[in-house]
Amino acid sequence: MNYKILCTCIWWFSVTITCFPLLQNREIRENDNVKINQNQDVIKFMQTFGYLVQDGPQALTAKDELVTALKLVQKFGGLEQTGIIDDNTLKLVKSKRCGVPDISLKQKNTINKRFVIPSSGWNKRVITYL
């Protein structure tokens, strides 16, 4: 009987010792997932509003390009240009705004219009925000 109790105690102790670091790492993984989601939100924002290219092979960007684009976002938002995603930058990215890009990334093979066709005004009177 004592042998069974001793084996059970040893087994319980070994399971507890083995799983304790995993429980601590779980918090770290959850924080990493939050960081990844925040980074994805910032990159999507930069693509949507013209700071980064959206499609094609040009969409693959280097770290330096991301930092430069992030500094430009911070400049347009009136923030300190650190190139690091901080709380103020996240607040700027998550705030509501109109859908017009800040920067127009022209493609090389486009033709510039040399004339303007006058219109009678806007078709839409309601402004929606993203």
Amino acid 26: pLDDT: 42
SS (H, E, C) 12-37: HHHHHHHHHHHHHHHHHHHHHHHHHH
**What CA–CA distance (Å, rounded) separates 80 from 94?**
17
Question: Does the pLDDT value for residue 21 go beyond 70?
Answer: no
Which tokens sit at 109? 């093979």
Residue 30 has pLDDT above 60, yes or no: no
Read off the pLDDT of residues 37-66 as tens digits, 9 standing for 90 and up.
778 888 888 888 888 877 666 556 677 888
Query: Per-residue pLDDT tens for 77-127?
Result: 999 999 888 899 999 988 888 888 888 766 556 666 676 777 667 777 787
